[in-house]
Amino acid sequence: MTKNLLEKDLNHILYHTQLLWEELRNQHIFITGGTGFFGCWLLESFVWANDNFNLNARATVLTRDPNQFKKKCPHLASHSAITFQLGDVRNFEFPTDSFSHIIHAATDASAHSTATHPLHMLYPILEGTKHVLEFAKYCKAPKFLLVSSGAVYGKQPEHIAQLAEDHPPSHLKSGYAIGKCAAEHISCLYASLYGFEVKIARCFAFVGPYLSLDANFAIGDFIREGLRNNPIQVNSNGTSCRSYLYAADLAIWLWTILFRGQSERFYNVGSDISISITELARLVARLTNSTHEVAILQPSSNHKMPERYIPSIQRAANELKLKPEITLPQAIMSTIKWHKHSVIPA
């Protein structure tokens, strides 16, 4: 069912990446974080390309719980091109196979963990990144993709409408942001010392199938409540601005950066089209046919500029010809339709 629901999206990915996949012919890739939101899209698109282009490629996915993933995505778990490596990203045993590409996408970026246990986020990021880089060195993989985060910039200054890659990190106050920033520097150091290419994707905010509706992210919360026909509540004054890239476009960007990005260079990944949290809530309410008014729980302030978390995507556009292809309303509708085929508890 899931594969059929995503067929249009997967063909969209192949249309925009069709010239890239030959690099994977008869190759073997290694993926950490392959069972999460990003990972599911990477695997879906990998399998789709592998089958459509007869690439004879393989993917090994690091996971602590293969059986749980088999329940979540049986069509991926049973695919002949995918195998699992049991282990934790911080200390897994190195497989002895040769690998052409490594994608390091493992990190739980939940808002709750980041806020309540910052050190619990910091150390696993550092330990996991170092271990995967040691594996890249060990297996002599030529290309390595680090999935990083826009959080490395810290709080977006009021006078900057969009964060560009040359904006210096400052006032990092979360273990997640500090960890991701350090992971970038460690990865570049390994690239310089050991001669493999490291591509760095600084990811912002996304929406699409496989997005958890219970991870304390605003757009997921809004979609969950809209699907339940519960009141959608904004737990702030609603003036903060975000932007969202659709998951199928995310897959296009990540594969393109891996295959064509410059080594030791940062690329923002996201949309540059800003929307306030209030506007987002109302959009989701309309698209889910909610019968309730959106509730804004805090008064707005006329003395403060709205907080923003918006990337500049000029580098990706200029160097890699990347841009958002799917509009936000289309992205939300696709996410809604996908989740309607899952059980939405009352």
pLDDT digits (tens, 9 = 90+) for 275-290: 999 999 999 999 999 9
| Inter-CA distances, 96 with 2, 85, 86, Å | 33, 11, 14
Range with the lowest mean pLDDT among 1-15, 128-142, 210-224? 1-15
Asked whether residue 116 carries a pLDDT value surpassing 70, the answer given is no
Q: Which two tokens stand for residue 148?
A: 């990083």
- CA 324, 113, 84, 71: dihedral to nearest 10 degrees? -90
- pLDDT the model gives residue 153: 95
The per-type count for the chain, helices as H runs and strands as E runs, is 13, 14
Average pLDDT, the chain: 93
- pLDDT the model gives residue 81: 98
- pLDDT the model gives residue 134: 98
d(C-alpha 49, C-alpha 44), whole Å:
9
Element at 178 (helix H, strand E): helix 175-194
- pLDDT the model gives residue 172: 83
d(C-alpha 135, C-alpha 180), whole Å:
19
- CA 203, 205, 210, 211: dihedral to nearest 10 degrees? 140
CB 145 within 8 A of CB 165: no
Asked whether residue 126 carries a pLDDT value surpassing 90, the answer given is yes
Q: Which amino acid is at 28?
A: H
CB 204 within 8 A of CB 243: yes
- pLDDT the model gives residue 304: 73
Question: Measured in whole angstroms, how far is the alpha carbon of residue 346 from the centre of its chain?
Answer: 28
- pLDDT the model gives residue 2: 45
Closest C-alpha among 107, 97, 45, 102 to residue 76: 45
Residues 1-53: pLDDT tens digits?
Answer: 344 689 999 999 999 999 999 999 999 999 999 999 999 999 999 999 999 99
Task: Name the band, by pLDDT with cuts 50, 70 and 90, for residue 346.
Answer: very low
DSSP secondary structure code for residue 341 in this structure? T
The SS3 assignment for 283 reads helix
pTM of the model: 0.94
Task: Name the band, by pLDDT with cuts 50, 70 and 90, for residue 114.
Answer: low
d(C-alpha 308, C-alpha 241), whole Å:
5
d(C-alpha 257, C-alpha 265), whole Å:
10
| Domains delineated in the chain | 2-340 (3.40.50.720)
Percent of the chain whose pLDDT exceeds 70:
94
Closest C-alpha among 208, 287, 215 to residue 244: 208
Range with the lowest mean pLDDT among 80-89, 132-141, 296-305? 296-305
- pLDDT the model gives residue 345: 44
CB 200 within 8 A of CB 169: no
First to last CA, the chain: 23
Q: Which amino acid is at 303?
A: H
- CA 131, 136, 139, 144: dihedral to nearest 10 degrees? 150
Q: At what angle do helices 7-17 and 247-260 cross, to 10 degrees?
A: 30
Asked whether residue 341 carries a pLDDT value surpassing 90, the answer given is no
Asked whether residue 104 carries a pLDDT value surpassing 50, the answer given is yes
Mean pLDDT of 296-311: 83
